[in-house]
C-alpha cells in the first residue's frame, strides 16, 4: 500500500506540471493592414497590434526611415559655430547642421555687466553722461568728472546764409538756427513786420468782395480787401445739409435740423418732432369703417385715430365664433384635408367629400436615376421614391450586395485564431475572418482545463489531509 508521504509528493508533482508553461494569451488582432507608427520608431500593422505591444501611437502611416547616423573621427581640430558653441572638428559641426563662424574654439562669452538703477551720474572722457560709476566702468570709459557732462558749446562757422525762424527772427545760417533751438520757417531773411493799421471807430459800413461787412473804408483797406458795395453786405443764403435730426420750433413746426431752424429765424422749443396738435372734429354723423374693424363717426375722427378707411358706412358685424366639441369623427373635405368632425368641417366652410380620413395623396416622382440605399437594405431610384416608401436613407448610391452566407461542415478539427478563440475547424475560422494562430485548441482553453485539474487535485489533497 502506498504511503501518505509518497502520495502527497505525486500530487505536488501533478500540480507543478499543470502550471508549467502557462503563458499569457496572445493579443487578438485581425489581419488588417492599416499601418501606424509607434513612439518607439517601429511600424505596426494596425492600432490593435500597437496596443498589444503596449506602445503609444506617434502618427498614422508607416514610420519615416531612421536617419543615417553621422560618423566622425575623434581628431581634435576645433571650429567655432555661428551658434557660439565649439565643435571637435568640421565633421561634428556639419552633423549638427551649424555653419562655421571661425576656425579654433569660440572665445569665452563675456561676463554680463550688472549694475543697479541708482542714479548717481558721472561724466565720461567721451563726453557722455552715465547713470553711475558702474555703467561707466561697464562701458570701459574713464571718468572725467562727477555729475552730468556739461552741454557741448554750439560752434558755427561764419557763413552768411540767412534763414527765417518760426519765431520771426532771422539767423545767419541753419547752424545758428539749430543752436537757438528754433525751427526754420523759410530760407532767406524774415519779411519785415507789417506796420500796424490805425483806423477811426466811425461806423460807415462797406461790403467787401469776400462777403464780409467792414466798419469803414479804412478797416477794409487794412484787410487788403476790395470794396463790393457801400453799406452792409446782404445776408448769405442759408444752406443746410440734408441731415435728419428733427427739432421743434417755438412756432409749433418741426424742422429737419437746427440749421434749417436757424435759417427760418425761429427759436428751438425742444429736440425731436413737435407733438401733434389736438384733433378737433365736428359732431357730424357720417359713419365709416376702419381697417381695424371699428366704426368711426366720420372721416375726421378716423383720421385723428390714424386708421385707414376700409369702407363707407358701419363695419359688418363680427362673425360668431365657431365652437365644436372635441369629438373624433373624421370626415374628408372637398379640399383634400381631413377634419376632426363635421362641425369643424362646417366651420371651415368646406363641403364634405366622404366620411373618414382623406386618402393620402399619390406619391409622384420624376424618372431621375440617382440611386440611394435605404435603411431596409433596398436600393431606390432616387430620394423621392425613398421618401414615398417611407424609408430613411442609409447612404448615397446603391446598397452593397448582401454577404453570401458562410456554410461549414460539422467537422471537429479545432484550430486557434489570432483573437485567442478556438474554432471547430478552419472553415469556421475563415468565416469569422480571423487568421489562424496554431492548430488545435488555444492555449487559454488548455490552461482553463489545467486550472480545473489543478483545483481538483488541491481539493483532493485537502480532503486527504482532513481524513488523516
Mean pLDDT of the chain: 86
Report whether pLDDT(393) > 90: yes
Report whether pLDDT(26) > 70: no
**Res 269: pLDDT:** 92
Query: What percent of the chain is modeled with pLDDT above 90?
Result: 47
**Res 293: pLDDT:** 87
Element (H, E) at 303: helix 299-304
> 349 lies in a domain?
yes
Report whether pLDDT(378) > 50: yes
Mean pLDDT of 91-111: 88
> 218 lies in a domain?
no
The reported pTM is 0.21
Q: What angle do helix axes 443-467 and 4-19 make, rounded to 10 degrees?
A: 160
* Residues 370 and 387 grouped into a single domain: yes
* Residues 393 and 370 grouped into a single domain: yes
**Res 446: pLDDT:** 66
Range of the domain at 387: 365-400
Grid cell at residue 345? 368641417
Cβ neighbours for 55, distance < 8 A, ≥ 6 positions apart:
38, 39, 40, 42, 44
**Res 458: pLDDT:** 83
Cβ neighbours for 15, distance < 8 A, ≥ 6 positions apart:
454, 457, 458
- Check if the beta carbon of residue 420 is closer than 8 Å to that of residue 446: no
Distance of alpha carbon 352 from alpha carbon 339, whole angstroms: 9
Grid cell at residue 221? 483797406
Structure confidence at residue 2 as a pLDDT band (50, 70, 90): very low
- Check if the beta carbon of residue 26 is closer than 8 Å to that of residue 437: yes
> 55 lies in a domain?
no
Instruction: Residue 344: give its domain's CATH number.
Output: 3.30.60.30
> 60 lies in a domain?
no
> 112 lies in a domain?
no
> 374 lies in a domain?
yes
- Other beta carbons within 10 Å of 63: 17
* Residues 370 and 354 grouped into a single domain: no
Report whether pLDDT(62) > 60: yes
CA angle 325, 330, 334 (to 5 degrees): 115
- Strand-pair partners of 129: 123
389 HSE (CA, 13 A, CB side): 18
pLDDT (tens digit, 9 = 90+) per residue, 284-330?
A: 899 999 999 899 999 999 988 889 999 999 998 877 778 888 899 99
pLDDT (tens digit, 9 = 90+) per residue, 202-255?
A: 999 999 999 899 999 999 998 889 999 999 998 777 888 889 999 999 998 999
> 347 lies in a domain?
yes
The backbone region for 211, taken as left when phi is positive above 0, alpha when psi lies in -120 to 50, beta otherwise, is left
| Residue 346 DSSP class | H
| Total count of domains within the chain | 2
> 332 lies in a domain?
yes
Amino acid at each position: 500500500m502506498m504511503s501518505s508521504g509518497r502520495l502527497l509528493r505525486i500530487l505536488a508533482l501533478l500540480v507543478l506540471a499543470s502550471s508549467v508553461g502557462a503563458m499569457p494569451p496572445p493579443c487578438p488582432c485581425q489581419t488588417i493592414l492599416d499601418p501606424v507608427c509607434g513612439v518607439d520608431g517601429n511600424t505596426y500593422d494596425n492600432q490593435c497590434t500597437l496596443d498589444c505591444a503596449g506602445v503609444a501611437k506617434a502618427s498614422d502611416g508607416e514610420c519615416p526611415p531612421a536617419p543615417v547616423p553621422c560618423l566622425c573621427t575623434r581628431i581634435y581640430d576645433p571650429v567655432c559655430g555661428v551658434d557660439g558653441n565649439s565643435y571637435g572638428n568640421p565633421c561634428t559641426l556639419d552633423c549638427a547642421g551649424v555653419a562655421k563662424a571661425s576656425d579654433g574654439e569660440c572665445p569665452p562669452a563675456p561676463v554680463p555687466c550688472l549694475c543697479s538703477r541708482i542714479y548717481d551720474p558721472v561724466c565720461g572722457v567721451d563726453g557722455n553722461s552715465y547713470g553711475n560709476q558702474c555703467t561707466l566702468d561697464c562701458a570701459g570709459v574713464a571718468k572725467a568728472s562727477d555729475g552730468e557732462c556739461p552741454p557741448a558749446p554750439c560752434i558755427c562757422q561764419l557763413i552768411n546764409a540767412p534763414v527765417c525762424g518760426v519765431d520771426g527772427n532771422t539767423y545767419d545760417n541753419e547752424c545758428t538756427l539749430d543752436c537757438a533751438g528754433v525751427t526754420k520757417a523759410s530760407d532767406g531773411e524774415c519779411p519785415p513786420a507789417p506796420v500796424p493799421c490805425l483806423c477811426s471807430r466811425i461806423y460807415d459800413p462797406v461790403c467787401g468782395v469776400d462777403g464780409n461787412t467792414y466798419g469803414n473804408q479804412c478797416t477794409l483797406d487794412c484787410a487788403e480787401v476790395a470794396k463790393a458795395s457801400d453799406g452792409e453786405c446782404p445776408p448769405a443764403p442759408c444752406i443746410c445739409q440734408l441731415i435728419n435730426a428733427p427739432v421743434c420750433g417755438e412756432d409749433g413746426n418741426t424742422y429737419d435740423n437746427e440749421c434749417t431752424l436757424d435759417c427760418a429765424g425761429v427759436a428751438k422749443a425742444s429736440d425731436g418732432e413737435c407733438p401733434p396738435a389736438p384733433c378737433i372734429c365736428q359732431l357730424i354723423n357720417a359713419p365709416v369703417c376702419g381697417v381695424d374693424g371699428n366704426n368711426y363717426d366720420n372721416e375726421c375722427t378716423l383720421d385723428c385715430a390714424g386708421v385707414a378707411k376700409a369702407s363707407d358706412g358701419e363695419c359688418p358685424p363680427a362673425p360668431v365664433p365657431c365652437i365644436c366639441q372635441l369629438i373624433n369623427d373624421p370626415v374628408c373635405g372637398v379640399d383634400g384635408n381631413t377634419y376632426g368632425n363635421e362641425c369643424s368641417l362646417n366651420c371651415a366652410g368646406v363641403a364634405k367629400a366622404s366620411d373618414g380620413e382623406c386618402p393620402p395623396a399619390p406619391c409622384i416622382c420624376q424618372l431621375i436615376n440617382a440611386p440611394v440605399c435605404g435603411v431596409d437594405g433596398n436600393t431606390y431610384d432616387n430620394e423621392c421614391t425613398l421618401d414615398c416608401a417611407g424609408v430613411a436613407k442609409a447612404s448615397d448610391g446603391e446598397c452593397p450586395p448582401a454577404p453570401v452566407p458562410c456554410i461549414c461542415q460539422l467537422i471537429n478539427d479545432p484550430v486557434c485564431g489570432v483573437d485567442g478563440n478556438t474554432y471547430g475547424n478552419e472553415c469556421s475560422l475563415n468565416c469569422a475572418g480571423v487568421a489562424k494562430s496554431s492548430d488545435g485548441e488555444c492555449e487559454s482553453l488548455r490552461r482553463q482545463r489545467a486550472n480545473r485539474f489543478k483545483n481538483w487535485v488541491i481539493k483532493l489533497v485537502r480532503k486527504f489531509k482532513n481524513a488523516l
